[in-house]
Amino acid sequence: MPGDRLEGLNLYLIGMMGAGKTTVGQELATRLGYRFFDSDMVIEQSTGQSITEIFATSGEAAFRQIESQVLAELASYTRLVIATGGGIVLQQMNWSYLRHGLIVWLDVPVDALYDRLKTDSSRPLLQQADPKHTLETLLNQRQSLYAQADLHVRIGVRETPEQICDRILQSIPGVLKPKLEPPSEE
Ligand SMILES: Nc1ncnc2c1ncn2[C@@H]1O[C@H](COP(=O)(O)OP(=O)(O)O)[C@@H](O)[C@H]1O
Ligand SMILES: O=C(O)C1=C[C@@H](OP(=O)(O)O)[C@@H](O)[C@H](O)C1
Ligand SMILES: [Mg+2]
Protein backbone atom coordinates (compact mmCIF):
# COMPACT_ATOMS: atom_id res chain seq x y z
CA MET A 1 0.00 0.00 0.00
CA PRO A 2 1.21 3.53 -0.74
CA GLY A 3 0.91 4.24 2.99
CA ASP A 4 3.63 1.72 3.84
CA ARG A 5 6.38 4.31 3.15
CA LEU A 6 4.87 6.36 5.95
CA GLU A 7 5.21 3.44 8.40
CA GLY A 8 1.98 4.42 10.13
CA LEU A 9 2.79 8.12 10.46
CA ASN A 10 -0.41 10.19 10.67
CA LEU A 11 -1.07 12.86 8.03
CA TYR A 12 -2.48 16.16 9.32
CA LEU A 13 -4.10 18.41 6.73
CA ILE A 14 -4.01 22.10 7.72
CA GLY A 15 -5.19 25.21 5.91
CA MET A 16 -7.98 27.75 5.74
CA MET A 17 -11.71 27.03 5.82
CA GLY A 18 -12.68 25.77 2.40
CA ALA A 19 -9.17 24.63 1.42
CA GLY A 20 -10.47 21.09 0.91
CA LYS A 21 -8.99 19.40 4.01
CA THR A 22 -12.11 17.27 4.59
CA THR A 23 -12.66 16.47 0.91
CA VAL A 24 -9.04 15.73 -0.01
CA GLY A 25 -8.46 13.97 3.32
CA GLN A 26 -11.11 11.35 2.61
CA GLU A 27 -9.60 10.56 -0.80
CA LEU A 28 -6.08 10.54 0.61
CA ALA A 29 -7.04 8.06 3.36
CA THR A 30 -8.56 5.71 0.80
CA ARG A 31 -5.42 5.84 -1.36
CA LEU A 32 -3.15 5.23 1.64
CA GLY A 33 -5.22 2.49 3.25
CA TYR A 34 -5.54 4.80 6.28
CA ARG A 35 -8.56 5.69 8.40
CA PHE A 36 -9.96 9.22 7.98
CA PHE A 37 -11.04 11.57 10.75
CA ASP A 38 -12.26 15.15 10.57
CA SER A 39 -11.59 16.88 13.87
CA ASP A 40 -14.73 19.02 13.54
CA MET A 41 -16.87 15.94 13.00
CA VAL A 42 -15.33 14.28 16.08
CA ILE A 43 -16.04 17.45 18.08
CA GLU A 44 -19.66 17.48 16.93
CA GLN A 45 -20.10 13.77 17.69
CA SER A 46 -18.49 14.01 21.14
CA THR A 47 -20.36 17.16 22.22
CA GLY A 48 -23.67 16.49 20.51
CA GLN A 49 -23.51 20.09 19.25
CA SER A 50 -22.70 21.61 15.86
CA ILE A 51 -19.63 23.83 15.58
CA THR A 52 -21.97 26.79 15.20
CA GLU A 53 -23.84 25.85 18.39
CA ILE A 54 -20.59 25.52 20.34
CA PHE A 55 -19.46 28.96 19.20
CA ALA A 56 -22.87 30.44 20.03
CA THR A 57 -23.36 28.81 23.45
CA SER A 58 -19.80 28.49 24.81
CA GLY A 59 -17.68 30.81 22.66
CA GLU A 60 -14.56 30.33 20.54
CA ALA A 61 -12.20 29.83 23.50
CA ALA A 62 -14.20 26.82 24.68
CA PHE A 63 -14.24 25.49 21.13
CA ARG A 64 -10.44 25.77 20.91
CA GLN A 65 -10.10 23.86 24.18
CA ILE A 66 -12.29 21.01 22.89
CA GLU A 67 -10.41 21.11 19.58
CA SER A 68 -7.07 20.54 21.37
CA GLN A 69 -8.51 17.69 23.42
CA VAL A 70 -9.81 15.98 20.28
CA LEU A 71 -6.47 16.46 18.51
CA ALA A 72 -4.62 14.93 21.49
CA GLU A 73 -6.94 11.90 21.36
CA LEU A 74 -6.54 11.43 17.60
CA ALA A 75 -2.75 11.84 17.84
CA SER A 76 -2.58 8.74 20.05
CA TYR A 77 -3.47 6.54 17.06
CA THR A 78 -1.53 5.73 13.91
CA ARG A 79 -2.37 5.29 10.24
CA LEU A 80 -4.81 8.21 10.23
CA VAL A 81 -5.44 11.05 7.81
CA ILE A 82 -6.80 13.88 9.96
CA ALA A 83 -8.54 16.88 8.43
CA THR A 84 -8.10 19.58 11.06
CA GLY A 85 -10.16 22.73 11.50
CA GLY A 86 -8.65 25.84 9.96
CA GLY A 87 -7.75 27.33 13.36
CA ILE A 88 -5.82 24.31 14.70
CA VAL A 89 -2.54 26.19 14.12
CA LEU A 90 -3.48 28.98 16.53
CA GLN A 91 -2.63 27.14 19.73
CA GLN A 92 1.03 26.36 20.39
CA MET A 93 0.13 23.19 22.29
CA ASN A 94 -1.53 21.73 19.18
CA TRP A 95 1.81 21.76 17.36
CA SER A 96 3.25 19.22 19.80
CA TYR A 97 0.62 16.78 18.50
CA LEU A 98 0.81 17.80 14.86
CA ARG A 99 4.60 17.37 14.86
CA HIS A 100 4.24 13.65 15.61
CA GLY A 101 2.84 13.27 12.10
CA LEU A 102 3.37 14.74 8.66
CA ILE A 103 1.77 18.18 8.34
CA VAL A 104 0.41 19.12 4.92
CA TRP A 105 -0.76 22.69 4.19
CA LEU A 106 -3.45 22.94 1.51
CA ASP A 107 -2.88 26.50 0.30
CA VAL A 108 -5.79 27.77 -1.82
CA PRO A 109 -6.26 31.34 -3.13
CA VAL A 110 -8.76 33.41 -1.12
CA ASP A 111 -10.98 33.98 -4.17
CA ALA A 112 -11.44 30.23 -4.52
CA LEU A 113 -12.07 29.83 -0.77
CA TYR A 114 -14.74 32.49 -0.98
CA ASP A 115 -16.38 30.95 -4.06
CA ARG A 116 -16.59 27.61 -2.26
CA LEU A 117 -17.92 29.00 1.03
CA LYS A 118 -20.13 31.95 0.05
CA THR A 119 -23.33 29.92 0.46
CA ASP A 120 -22.06 27.82 3.38
CA SER A 121 -23.50 28.76 6.79
CA SER A 122 -21.61 26.09 8.76
CA ARG A 123 -18.58 28.26 9.50
CA PRO A 124 -19.49 30.65 12.36
CA LEU A 125 -16.44 32.84 11.75
CA LEU A 126 -17.73 33.65 8.28
CA GLN A 127 -21.20 34.77 9.39
CA GLN A 128 -20.06 38.35 8.97
CA ALA A 129 -21.02 41.27 6.74
CA ASP A 130 -17.97 40.75 4.48
CA PRO A 131 -16.92 37.06 4.61
CA LYS A 132 -14.33 37.50 1.85
CA HIS A 133 -12.59 40.19 3.88
CA THR A 134 -12.76 37.91 6.91
CA LEU A 135 -11.05 35.12 4.93
CA GLU A 136 -8.33 37.54 3.80
CA THR A 137 -7.78 38.79 7.36
CA LEU A 138 -7.65 35.28 8.85
CA LEU A 139 -5.22 34.09 6.19
CA ASN A 140 -2.95 37.09 6.81
CA GLN A 141 -2.98 36.31 10.53
CA ARG A 142 -2.31 32.59 10.05
CA GLN A 143 -0.07 32.43 6.98
CA SER A 144 3.18 32.24 8.99
CA LEU A 145 1.69 29.43 11.10
CA TYR A 146 0.49 27.38 8.13
CA ALA A 147 3.95 27.88 6.62
CA GLN A 148 5.41 25.71 9.42
CA ALA A 149 3.92 22.64 7.72
CA ASP A 150 6.22 19.87 6.46
CA LEU A 151 4.66 20.03 3.00
CA HIS A 152 3.27 23.21 1.39
CA VAL A 153 0.82 22.37 -1.41
CA ARG A 154 -0.09 25.40 -3.53
CA ILE A 155 -3.42 24.51 -5.10
CA GLY A 156 -4.73 25.86 -8.41
CA VAL A 157 -8.36 26.91 -8.57
CA ARG A 158 -9.15 24.19 -11.12
CA GLU A 159 -7.31 21.32 -9.44
CA THR A 160 -9.59 18.44 -8.47
CA PRO A 161 -9.30 16.58 -5.15
CA GLU A 162 -7.95 13.60 -7.09
CA GLN A 163 -5.21 15.68 -8.71
CA ILE A 164 -4.31 17.22 -5.35
CA CYS A 165 -4.02 13.73 -3.84
CA ASP A 166 -1.72 12.72 -6.69
CA ARG A 167 0.57 15.67 -5.95
CA ILE A 168 0.60 15.06 -2.20
CA LEU A 169 1.47 11.36 -2.63
CA GLN A 170 4.23 12.26 -5.10
CA SER A 171 5.65 14.87 -2.70
CA ILE A 172 5.56 12.86 0.55
CA PRO A 173 8.80 10.88 -0.01
CA GLY A 174 10.69 14.16 -0.42
CA VAL A 175 9.60 15.50 2.98
CA LEU A 176 9.66 12.35 5.11
CA LYS A 177 11.94 13.00 8.07
CA PRO A 178 14.96 10.69 7.87
CA LYS A 179 14.80 7.94 10.46
CA LEU A 180 17.51 8.38 13.08
CA GLU A 181 19.81 5.46 12.40
CA PRO A 182 21.32 3.90 15.53
CA PRO A 183 25.07 4.76 15.85
CA SER A 184 27.17 2.17 13.99
CA GLU A 185 29.28 -0.16 16.14
CA GLU A 186 32.87 1.14 15.91
N1 LIG B 1 -10.37 20.74 -5.16
C2 LIG B 1 -11.61 21.25 -5.03
N3 LIG B 1 -12.21 21.85 -6.08
C4 LIG B 1 -13.43 22.40 -5.95
N5 LIG B 1 -14.17 22.39 -4.82
C6 LIG B 1 -13.60 21.80 -3.73
C7 LIG B 1 -12.31 21.22 -3.77
N8 LIG B 1 -12.03 20.71 -2.53
C9 LIG B 1 -13.10 20.99 -1.76
N10 LIG B 1 -14.06 21.63 -2.48
C11 LIG B 1 -15.36 22.10 -1.98
O12 LIG B 1 -15.09 23.18 -1.12
C13 LIG B 1 -15.95 23.13 0.04
C14 LIG B 1 -15.09 23.01 1.29
O15 LIG B 1 -14.41 21.76 1.24
P16 LIG B 1 -13.94 21.08 2.63
O17 LIG B 1 -13.30 19.79 2.28
O18 LIG B 1 -15.07 21.10 3.61
O19 LIG B 1 -12.83 22.13 3.11
P20 LIG B 1 -12.20 22.34 4.59
O21 LIG B 1 -12.40 21.06 5.35
O22 LIG B 1 -10.78 22.67 4.33
O23 LIG B 1 -12.97 23.49 5.18
C24 LIG B 1 -16.86 21.93 -0.16
O25 LIG B 1 -18.08 22.37 -0.75
C26 LIG B 1 -16.09 21.07 -1.15
O27 LIG B 1 -16.96 20.27 -1.96
O1 LIG C 1 -10.71 28.48 10.56
C2 LIG C 1 -11.28 28.29 11.68
O3 LIG C 1 -10.99 28.92 12.72
C4 LIG C 1 -12.36 27.26 11.74
C5 LIG C 1 -12.47 26.34 10.72
C6 LIG C 1 -13.53 25.29 10.72
O7 LIG C 1 -13.08 24.07 10.10
P8 LIG C 1 -12.82 23.98 8.50
O9 LIG C 1 -11.45 24.54 8.26
O10 LIG C 1 -12.94 22.53 8.16
O11 LIG C 1 -13.88 24.83 7.85
C12 LIG C 1 -13.99 24.96 12.12
O13 LIG C 1 -12.98 24.31 12.85
C14 LIG C 1 -14.39 26.26 12.83
O15 LIG C 1 -15.47 26.84 12.11
C16 LIG C 1 -13.23 27.22 12.93
MG1 LIG D 1 -13.23 20.67 7.17
In a domain, 99, yes or no: yes
Model ipTM value? 0.99
In a domain, 136, yes or no: yes
For a ligand 1 pocket test, name from 116, 138, 146 the mutation site with the most ligand atoms within 8 angstroms of its C-beta: 116
Q: What is the CATH number of the domain that holds 21?
A: 3.40.50.300
In a domain, 109, yes or no: yes
In a domain, 142, yes or no: yes
- Spell out the per-residue pLDDT of the chain, length 186, in tens: 666 778 899 999 999 999 999 999 999 999 999 999 999 999 999 999 999 999 999 999 999 999 999 999 999 999 999 999 999 999 999 999 999 999 999 999 999 999 999 999 999 999 999 999 999 999 999 999 999 999 999 999 999 999 999 999 999 999 986 666 666 776
- The response to whether residue 87 sits with its C-beta less than 6 Å from ligand 2 reads yes
CA distance 41 to 164: 22
Q: Please, where are the H alpha helices in the chain?
A: 21-32, 39-47, 51-57, 60-74, 92-98, 110-117, 131-146, 161-175
Which secondary structure element, helix H or strand E, spans residue 112, and what is its range? Answer: helix 110-117
DSSP label of 110:
H
Q: Residue 135 is part of which domain span?
A: 2-173
Q: How many domains does the chain have?
A: 1
d(CA 163, ligand 2 centre) in Å:
23
